[in-house]
Amino acid sequence: MSNTMYYGEIAAKISAIIHANHDHVERISRLIGNEHGQEDTIWSICAEAARVFDQIEDLSGEHFIDWHIATDKFAQEVLDCLLMGRRPFIVDMVSMAARSIEHSR
């Protein structure tokens, strides 16, 4: 049995880390709403980030990674990016995922 995580589990973890602080949620919602209109929500960003991480996990084929640590680090990087007032693009998420996996070896 592999130690990989599933898309829903990854999305839930990212969402939980972002939603752990009510002030962060309000701040991010305000920033996203001002910059991107109604098409982006915290949940859509969490889902997109989870999809990117899940695909990178599938592509990596790494068996010596603690995926739970990697997703924690990845979720924190996504949160940090959002708190800096910028919505991460796919390429940003790919880079974050690679750093998170490297950090978890």
The ranges assigned to domains in the chain are 7-103
**pLDDT score of 40:** 79
**pLDDT score of 44:** 92
**pLDDT score of 1:** 30
* Gap between the Cα atoms of 52 and 94, Å rounded: 7
Pick from 82, 66, 94, 67: nearest CA to 15:
82
**pLDDT score of 5:** 67
**pLDDT score of 37:** 54
**pLDDT score of 82:** 94
**pLDDT score of 46:** 94
Q: Judging by beta carbons within 10 Å of its beta carbon (0-12, 13-18, 19+), is residue 58 exposed, middle or buried?
A: exposed
* Gap between the Cα atoms of 64 and 78, Å rounded: 23
Q: Kindly give the confidence (pLDDT) of every residue in the chain, 105 residues in length, as a single tens digit, with 9 standing for 90 and above.
A: 345 568 889 999 999 999 999 999 999 988 887 655 557 789 999 999 999 999 998 888 777 888 889 999 999 999 999 999 889 999 999 999 999 999 988
